[in-house]
Amino acid sequence: MRYYNQPHAYYCGGDLHARSLYLHILDSQGVTRFEKNLPASPQAFLDAVAPFRDGLVVGVECMFAWYWLADLCEEQRIPFVLGHALAMKAIHGGKTKTDRIDAAKLAGLLRGGLFPQAYVYPKAKRATRDLLRRRSIFVRQRAHLIAHIQNTNSQYNHPPFAKKLTYKGNRTPDLVERFADDSTRLSVQANLNMIAAYDAQLQQLETHLQQHAKIEDPVTYQFLRTVPGIGPILGLTMLYEIDDIQRFPEVGNFLSYSRLVSCIHESAGKVKGVGGRKIDNAHLKWAFGEAASLMLRSFPAAKAWMARQAKKRSKVRAHAILEAKIGRTVYAMWQRQRPFDPKRFLAS
Protein backbone atom coordinates (compact mmCIF):
# COMPACT_ATOMS: atom_id res chain seq x y z
CA MET A 1 0.00 0.00 0.00
CA ARG A 2 1.35 3.43 -0.96
CA TYR A 3 0.90 6.38 1.39
CA TYR A 4 0.89 10.04 0.47
CA ASN A 5 3.59 11.84 2.46
CA GLN A 6 4.32 15.10 0.61
CA PRO A 7 4.58 18.26 2.75
CA HIS A 8 2.05 21.06 2.16
CA ALA A 9 0.95 24.27 3.83
CA TYR A 10 -2.70 23.12 4.04
CA TYR A 11 -4.32 19.69 4.09
CA CYS A 12 -7.96 19.38 3.00
CA GLY A 13 -9.92 16.25 3.85
CA GLY A 14 -13.27 15.86 2.13
CA ASP A 15 -16.05 13.46 3.01
CA LEU A 16 -17.66 13.30 -0.42
CA HIS A 17 -21.21 12.18 -1.19
CA ALA A 18 -23.46 12.48 -4.22
CA ARG A 19 -25.05 15.73 -3.05
CA SER A 20 -22.85 16.97 -0.20
CA LEU A 21 -19.16 17.52 0.59
CA TYR A 22 -17.89 18.05 4.13
CA LEU A 23 -14.50 19.80 4.12
CA HIS A 24 -11.95 19.96 6.92
CA ILE A 25 -8.74 21.95 6.33
CA LEU A 26 -5.67 21.74 8.59
CA ASP A 27 -2.55 23.85 8.39
CA SER A 28 0.96 22.42 8.68
CA GLN A 29 0.80 22.75 12.49
CA GLY A 30 -2.38 20.68 12.74
CA VAL A 31 -4.67 23.63 13.51
CA THR A 32 -8.16 23.52 11.97
CA ARG A 33 -8.55 26.45 9.58
CA PHE A 34 -11.85 25.56 7.93
CA GLU A 35 -14.69 23.12 8.64
CA LYS A 36 -18.05 23.15 6.90
CA ASN A 37 -20.63 21.00 5.10
CA LEU A 38 -21.09 22.17 1.49
CA PRO A 39 -23.19 21.20 -1.54
CA ALA A 40 -21.24 18.95 -3.89
CA SER A 41 -20.70 21.56 -6.59
CA PRO A 42 -17.54 22.96 -8.19
CA GLN A 43 -18.23 26.58 -7.30
CA ALA A 44 -18.98 25.83 -3.64
CA PHE A 45 -15.73 23.87 -3.36
CA LEU A 46 -13.62 26.56 -5.05
CA ASP A 47 -15.11 29.31 -2.88
CA ALA A 48 -14.38 27.34 0.29
CA VAL A 49 -10.72 26.59 -0.51
CA ALA A 50 -9.94 29.98 -2.10
CA PRO A 51 -8.12 31.39 1.00
CA PHE A 52 -5.91 28.27 1.19
CA ARG A 53 -5.06 27.71 -2.48
CA ASP A 54 -1.35 28.38 -2.01
CA GLY A 55 0.09 25.05 -0.85
CA LEU A 56 -3.21 23.14 -0.63
CA VAL A 57 -3.66 19.39 -1.14
CA VAL A 58 -7.09 17.74 -1.33
CA GLY A 59 -7.83 14.15 -0.33
CA VAL A 60 -11.11 12.23 -0.53
CA GLU A 61 -12.11 8.62 -0.11
CA CYS A 62 -12.56 6.55 -3.26
CA MET A 63 -16.27 6.26 -4.01
CA PHE A 64 -18.45 6.57 -7.09
CA ALA A 65 -18.66 10.39 -7.14
CA TRP A 66 -14.96 11.34 -7.13
CA TYR A 67 -14.59 11.95 -10.89
CA TRP A 68 -15.79 15.55 -10.96
CA LEU A 69 -13.67 16.63 -7.99
CA ALA A 70 -10.51 15.02 -9.40
CA ASP A 71 -11.07 16.70 -12.77
CA LEU A 72 -11.77 20.04 -11.12
CA CYS A 73 -8.57 19.88 -9.06
CA GLU A 74 -6.61 18.96 -12.19
CA GLU A 75 -8.04 21.96 -14.06
CA GLN A 76 -7.27 24.28 -11.11
CA ARG A 77 -3.82 22.72 -10.58
CA ILE A 78 -4.63 21.67 -7.03
CA PRO A 79 -2.87 18.47 -5.88
CA PHE A 80 -5.51 15.73 -5.51
CA VAL A 81 -5.12 12.43 -3.66
CA LEU A 82 -7.62 9.59 -3.87
CA GLY A 83 -7.85 7.49 -0.71
CA HIS A 84 -8.11 3.71 -0.74
CA ALA A 85 -11.49 3.07 0.89
CA LEU A 86 -10.75 -0.43 2.25
CA ALA A 87 -7.46 0.71 3.77
CA MET A 88 -9.02 3.60 5.71
CA LYS A 89 -8.87 1.74 9.03
CA ALA A 90 -8.82 5.01 10.97
CA ILE A 91 -12.28 5.77 9.58
CA HIS A 92 -13.97 2.39 9.51
CA GLY A 93 -12.62 1.31 12.90
CA GLY A 94 -13.92 4.29 14.83
CA LYS A 95 -16.62 3.97 17.48
CA THR A 96 -18.47 7.02 16.15
CA LYS A 97 -18.67 7.82 12.45
CA THR A 98 -20.05 11.06 11.02
CA ASP A 99 -19.22 13.25 8.03
CA ARG A 100 -17.53 15.77 10.33
CA ILE A 101 -15.34 13.13 12.00
CA ASP A 102 -14.50 11.41 8.69
CA ALA A 103 -13.38 14.67 7.05
CA ALA A 104 -11.18 15.50 10.04
CA LYS A 105 -9.58 12.04 9.95
CA LEU A 106 -8.90 12.36 6.21
CA ALA A 107 -7.17 15.70 6.75
CA GLY A 108 -5.18 14.24 9.66
CA LEU A 109 -4.07 11.24 7.61
CA LEU A 110 -2.92 13.55 4.82
CA ARG A 111 -0.91 15.67 7.23
CA GLY A 112 0.58 12.64 9.02
CA GLY A 113 1.72 10.88 5.84
CA LEU A 114 -0.57 7.91 6.46
CA PHE A 115 -3.13 8.54 3.73
CA PRO A 116 -3.49 5.25 1.74
CA GLN A 117 -3.55 6.01 -1.96
CA ALA A 118 -5.76 4.64 -4.70
CA TYR A 119 -5.01 5.16 -8.39
CA VAL A 120 -6.51 8.28 -9.95
CA TYR A 121 -7.45 6.83 -13.32
CA PRO A 122 -6.74 9.25 -16.22
CA LYS A 123 -9.73 11.17 -17.52
CA ALA A 124 -8.99 10.29 -21.17
CA LYS A 125 -9.52 6.54 -20.70
CA ARG A 126 -11.94 6.58 -17.77
CA ALA A 127 -15.16 6.40 -19.81
CA THR A 128 -13.86 3.48 -21.91
CA ARG A 129 -12.87 1.53 -18.80
CA ASP A 130 -16.30 2.15 -17.27
CA LEU A 131 -17.96 0.96 -20.48
CA LEU A 132 -15.89 -2.23 -20.36
CA ARG A 133 -17.00 -2.84 -16.77
CA ARG A 134 -20.61 -2.22 -17.80
CA ARG A 135 -20.24 -4.84 -20.51
CA SER A 136 -19.23 -7.39 -17.86
CA ILE A 137 -22.47 -6.68 -15.99
CA PHE A 138 -24.49 -7.24 -19.16
CA VAL A 139 -22.70 -10.55 -19.78
CA ARG A 140 -23.59 -11.76 -16.28
CA GLN A 141 -27.23 -10.72 -16.74
CA ARG A 142 -27.33 -12.59 -20.05
CA ALA A 143 -25.88 -15.68 -18.36
CA HIS A 144 -28.59 -15.42 -15.69
CA LEU A 145 -31.28 -15.54 -18.40
CA ILE A 146 -29.71 -18.61 -20.03
CA ALA A 147 -29.46 -20.34 -16.65
CA HIS A 148 -33.15 -19.61 -15.99
CA ILE A 149 -34.14 -21.36 -19.24
CA GLN A 150 -32.03 -24.39 -18.32
CA ASN A 151 -33.46 -24.49 -14.80
CA THR A 152 -37.01 -24.26 -16.16
CA ASN A 153 -36.26 -27.16 -18.49
CA SER A 154 -35.06 -29.26 -15.54
CA GLN A 155 -38.02 -28.14 -13.44
CA TYR A 156 -40.40 -29.86 -15.85
CA ASN A 157 -38.12 -32.91 -16.21
CA HIS A 158 -37.52 -32.43 -19.94
CA PRO A 159 -34.44 -33.95 -21.63
CA PRO A 160 -31.31 -31.76 -21.45
CA PHE A 161 -30.67 -29.43 -24.35
CA ALA A 162 -28.50 -31.07 -26.99
CA LYS A 163 -26.38 -27.95 -27.51
CA LYS A 164 -25.32 -24.94 -25.46
CA LEU A 165 -27.80 -22.06 -25.47
CA THR A 166 -24.92 -19.62 -25.31
CA TYR A 167 -24.71 -19.69 -29.11
CA LYS A 168 -27.42 -18.03 -31.17
CA GLY A 169 -27.73 -20.88 -33.66
CA ASN A 170 -28.66 -23.33 -30.90
CA ARG A 171 -31.63 -21.29 -29.70
CA THR A 172 -34.11 -22.68 -32.25
CA PRO A 173 -37.88 -21.90 -32.31
CA ASP A 174 -38.81 -25.44 -31.22
CA LEU A 175 -37.09 -24.76 -27.89
CA VAL A 176 -40.24 -23.05 -26.60
CA GLU A 177 -42.52 -25.80 -27.91
CA ARG A 178 -41.26 -28.39 -25.44
CA PHE A 179 -43.19 -26.58 -22.67
CA ALA A 180 -46.94 -27.29 -22.51
CA ASP A 181 -48.11 -24.42 -20.29
CA ASP A 182 -48.71 -21.06 -21.99
CA SER A 183 -47.27 -19.07 -19.09
CA THR A 184 -44.08 -21.14 -19.11
CA ARG A 185 -43.76 -20.66 -22.84
CA LEU A 186 -44.16 -16.93 -22.45
CA SER A 187 -41.52 -16.88 -19.71
CA VAL A 188 -39.00 -18.81 -21.81
CA GLN A 189 -39.75 -16.71 -24.90
CA ALA A 190 -39.25 -13.52 -22.88
CA ASN A 191 -35.85 -14.82 -21.77
CA LEU A 192 -34.92 -15.62 -25.38
CA ASN A 193 -35.95 -12.15 -26.52
CA MET A 194 -33.86 -10.52 -23.80
CA ILE A 195 -30.88 -12.73 -24.67
CA ALA A 196 -31.14 -11.67 -28.32
CA ALA A 197 -31.23 -8.02 -27.25
CA TYR A 198 -28.17 -8.50 -25.07
CA ASP A 199 -26.35 -10.21 -27.97
CA ALA A 200 -26.92 -7.22 -30.23
CA GLN A 201 -25.91 -4.74 -27.53
CA LEU A 202 -22.80 -6.68 -26.54
CA GLN A 203 -21.64 -6.90 -30.14
CA GLN A 204 -21.95 -3.13 -30.48
CA LEU A 205 -20.05 -2.50 -27.24
CA GLU A 206 -17.26 -4.93 -28.09
CA THR A 207 -16.75 -3.37 -31.52
CA HIS A 208 -16.53 0.08 -29.94
CA LEU A 209 -14.08 -1.09 -27.25
CA GLN A 210 -11.75 -2.80 -29.70
CA GLN A 211 -11.71 0.26 -31.93
CA HIS A 212 -10.67 2.42 -28.97
CA ALA A 213 -7.96 -0.05 -27.93
CA LYS A 214 -6.47 -0.04 -31.43
CA ILE A 215 -6.30 3.76 -31.29
CA GLU A 216 -5.13 4.33 -27.70
CA ASP A 217 -2.51 1.56 -27.33
CA PRO A 218 -2.53 -0.84 -30.30
CA VAL A 219 0.97 -2.23 -29.71
CA THR A 220 0.41 -3.34 -26.10
CA TYR A 221 -3.02 -4.71 -26.98
CA GLN A 222 -1.56 -6.90 -29.72
CA PHE A 223 1.24 -8.09 -27.44
CA LEU A 224 -1.32 -9.14 -24.83
CA ARG A 225 -3.22 -11.08 -27.49
CA THR A 226 -0.11 -13.19 -28.22
CA VAL A 227 -0.43 -14.92 -24.82
CA PRO A 228 -2.32 -18.24 -25.19
CA GLY A 229 -5.65 -17.85 -23.41
CA ILE A 230 -5.86 -14.06 -23.68
CA GLY A 231 -8.50 -13.19 -26.25
CA PRO A 232 -10.04 -9.86 -27.21
CA ILE A 233 -12.08 -9.34 -24.03
CA LEU A 234 -9.38 -10.43 -21.56
CA GLY A 235 -6.88 -8.31 -23.49
CA LEU A 236 -9.17 -5.31 -23.22
CA THR A 237 -9.70 -5.91 -19.50
CA MET A 238 -5.98 -6.03 -18.80
CA LEU A 239 -5.25 -3.05 -21.04
CA TYR A 240 -7.77 -0.72 -19.39
CA GLU A 241 -7.55 -1.97 -15.81
CA ILE A 242 -3.75 -1.71 -15.72
CA ASP A 243 -3.58 1.48 -17.83
CA ASP A 244 0.11 2.25 -17.18
CA ILE A 245 2.53 -0.51 -16.21
CA GLN A 246 5.09 2.08 -15.05
CA ARG A 247 3.01 2.82 -11.96
CA PHE A 248 4.19 -0.54 -10.58
CA PRO A 249 7.90 -0.25 -9.65
CA GLU A 250 8.30 -4.01 -9.18
CA VAL A 251 6.53 -7.10 -10.46
CA GLY A 252 5.51 -7.90 -6.88
CA ASN A 253 3.53 -4.67 -6.70
CA PHE A 254 1.72 -5.63 -9.88
CA LEU A 255 0.92 -9.16 -8.67
CA SER A 256 -0.39 -7.75 -5.39
CA TYR A 257 -2.58 -5.24 -7.24
CA SER A 258 -3.97 -8.08 -9.38
CA ARG A 259 -4.74 -10.23 -6.29
CA LEU A 260 -2.38 -12.94 -7.52
CA VAL A 261 -0.33 -13.26 -4.32
CA SER A 262 -1.28 -13.69 -0.66
CA CYS A 263 -0.46 -10.98 1.87
CA ILE A 264 0.95 -12.50 5.06
CA HIS A 265 0.03 -11.22 8.52
CA GLU A 266 3.04 -11.68 10.79
CA SER A 267 3.73 -10.71 14.40
CA ALA A 268 6.68 -11.58 16.69
CA GLY A 269 8.12 -13.81 13.99
CA LYS A 270 4.94 -15.87 13.70
CA VAL A 271 2.62 -15.96 10.70
CA LYS A 272 -0.93 -15.22 11.83
CA GLY A 273 -2.58 -15.82 8.46
CA VAL A 274 -3.24 -13.85 5.30
CA GLY A 275 -5.37 -10.79 4.62
CA GLY A 276 -6.30 -8.16 2.11
CA ARG A 277 -8.15 -10.57 -0.17
CA LYS A 278 -10.65 -7.90 -1.20
CA ILE A 279 -8.13 -5.09 -1.61
CA ASP A 280 -7.00 -4.08 -5.13
CA ASN A 281 -8.41 -4.96 -8.53
CA ALA A 282 -11.06 -7.70 -8.74
CA HIS A 283 -11.37 -7.31 -12.52
CA LEU A 284 -7.71 -8.24 -13.05
CA LYS A 285 -8.04 -11.22 -10.70
CA TRP A 286 -10.94 -12.47 -12.82
CA ALA A 287 -9.06 -11.82 -16.07
CA PHE A 288 -5.94 -13.75 -15.04
CA GLY A 289 -8.05 -16.61 -13.67
CA GLU A 290 -9.90 -16.90 -16.99
CA ALA A 291 -6.64 -16.62 -18.94
CA ALA A 292 -5.11 -19.50 -16.97
CA SER A 293 -8.12 -21.74 -17.62
CA LEU A 294 -8.15 -20.93 -21.33
CA MET A 295 -4.38 -21.38 -21.61
CA LEU A 296 -4.72 -24.97 -20.41
CA ARG A 297 -7.04 -25.64 -23.37
CA SER A 298 -4.89 -24.09 -26.10
CA PHE A 299 -1.29 -24.48 -24.88
CA PRO A 300 -0.23 -28.15 -24.46
CA ALA A 301 3.03 -27.26 -22.73
CA ALA A 302 1.12 -25.39 -20.03
CA LYS A 303 -1.23 -28.35 -19.62
CA ALA A 304 1.74 -30.68 -19.08
CA TRP A 305 3.24 -28.21 -16.58
CA MET A 306 -0.08 -28.08 -14.77
CA ALA A 307 -0.19 -31.88 -14.51
CA ARG A 308 3.27 -31.96 -12.92
CA GLN A 309 2.40 -29.21 -10.46
CA ALA A 310 -0.89 -30.88 -9.51
CA LYS A 311 1.04 -33.95 -8.33
CA LYS A 312 3.11 -31.82 -5.95
CA ARG A 313 0.28 -29.52 -4.86
CA SER A 314 -3.48 -29.38 -5.16
CA LYS A 315 -5.06 -28.41 -8.47
CA VAL A 316 -6.35 -25.19 -6.96
CA ARG A 317 -2.87 -24.20 -5.79
CA ALA A 318 -1.32 -25.14 -9.14
CA HIS A 319 -3.92 -23.06 -10.96
CA ALA A 320 -3.15 -20.07 -8.71
CA ILE A 321 0.57 -20.44 -9.49
CA LEU A 322 -0.24 -20.49 -13.21
CA GLU A 323 -2.25 -17.28 -12.82
CA ALA A 324 0.74 -15.62 -11.14
CA LYS A 325 3.06 -16.85 -13.91
CA ILE A 326 0.80 -15.24 -16.49
CA GLY A 327 0.80 -12.07 -14.41
CA ARG A 328 4.60 -11.98 -14.33
CA THR A 329 4.67 -12.60 -18.08
CA VAL A 330 2.23 -9.77 -18.80
CA TYR A 331 4.29 -7.41 -16.62
CA ALA A 332 7.54 -8.29 -18.44
CA MET A 333 5.93 -8.12 -21.90
CA TRP A 334 4.41 -4.72 -21.21
CA GLN A 335 7.65 -3.34 -19.74
CA ARG A 336 9.80 -4.58 -22.61
CA GLN A 337 7.14 -4.28 -25.35
CA ARG A 338 7.77 -7.80 -26.59
CA PRO A 339 5.38 -10.60 -27.62
CA PHE A 340 4.84 -13.82 -25.70
CA ASP A 341 7.78 -16.26 -25.62
CA PRO A 342 6.70 -19.85 -24.81
CA LYS A 343 10.23 -20.96 -23.90
CA ARG A 344 10.78 -18.17 -21.41
CA PHE A 345 7.32 -18.70 -19.94
CA LEU A 346 8.00 -22.31 -18.93
CA ALA A 347 11.73 -21.91 -18.21
CA SER A 348 11.29 -20.81 -14.59
**Residue 101's pLDDT is what?**
94
- Rounded to the nearest 10 degrees, the angle between the axes of helix 42-49 and helix 67-75 is 50
Residue 82, pLDDT > 90, answer: yes
Residue 319, pLDDT > 90, answer: yes
CA distance 165 to 81: 47
3-state secondary structure 88-114: CHHHHCCCCCCHHHHHHHHHHHHHHCC
List the beta bridge partners of residue 64: none
Domain housing 76? 3-116
pLDDT tens-digit profile of 262-295?
A: 877 787 878 877 776 778 899 999 999 999 999 9
Q: What does the DSSP 8-state code read for residue 71?
A: H
- Band of residue 334 on the pLDDT scale cut at 50, 70, 90: very high
Pairing relationship of beta strands 56-61 and 10-16 according to DSSP bridges: parallel
Q: Are residues 17 and 90 in the same domain?
A: yes
pLDDT tens-digit profile of 55-67?
A: 999 999 998 899 9
CA distance 256 to 243: 16
Average pLDDT of the residues in 127-137:
97
Residue 122, pLDDT > 80, answer: yes
CA distance 84 to 115: 8
Q: Are residues 103 and 141 in the same domain?
A: no
Q: Which amino acid is at 55?
A: G
CA distance 300 to 294: 11
| 64, 85, 116 - which closes a domain | 116
Q: Give the E-state strand segments of the chain in sequence order.
A: 3-4, 10-16, 20-27, 32-39, 56-61, 80-83, 115-116, 263-267, 270-275
Domain count, the chain: 3
Residue 215, pLDDT > 80, answer: yes
CA distance 140 to 147: 10
Residue 348, pLDDT > 70, answer: no
| Greatest Cα pair distance in the chain | 78
Q: Are residues 195 and 264 in the same domain?
A: no
**Residue 280's pLDDT is what?**
85
| 194, 216, 238 - which closes a domain | 216
